[in-house]
Amino acid sequence: MIVLFCLVIGLIGGIYADVYIPQQYALFVAIAILAALDSIFGAVVAVLHRNFDLNIFLSGFFGNAVLAALLAYVGKALGVDIYLAAIIVFGTRLLQNFALIRRFLLNKYSKKDTIG
């Protein structure tokens, strides 16, 4: 529940905060945000399955975001679009986690609680 609360607070803060990101950093920030969203959706799935661990979440949240941004930076320095790999992997995982959340909620509210 704390994860959802923090997500809502972060979204509200992001909407109303006047933050400017220079164009040269936009790709790195976008990749880091995608990695962070993947960790958040993974945390929601873990909460639903009752095996959430804050240390795993925090290490994954910051570790994935930094690693993805670093991967994009190295790829740009080498002239290779390595960031596409991060987009594909994190995008796929994000959609898979969303599907698990959706199935869990549908099964729970249709009285067929077979997941979790």
List the domain boundaries for the chain.
Answer: 2-109
Question: What is the pLDDT at residue 99?
Answer: 94
Q: What is the mean pLDDT of residues 8-23?
A: 86
Residue 15: burial class (beta carbons within 10 Å; 0-12, 13-18, 19+): exposed
Asked whether the beta carbons of 45 and 100 are under 8 A apart, the reply is yes
State the average pLDDT over residues 7-28: 86
Q: Which residue has the higher pLDDT, 3 or 100?
A: 100
Residue (of 49, 59, 43, 33) closest to 6 by Cα position: 43
What pTM value is reported for the model? 0.74
Helix (H, G, I), strand (E, B) or coil at 52: coil
Query: Which one-letter amino acid corresponds to residue 19?
Result: V
pLDDT tens per residue across span 50-85: 999 999 999 989 998 888 888 888 988 999 888 888
pLDDT above 60: residue 42: yes
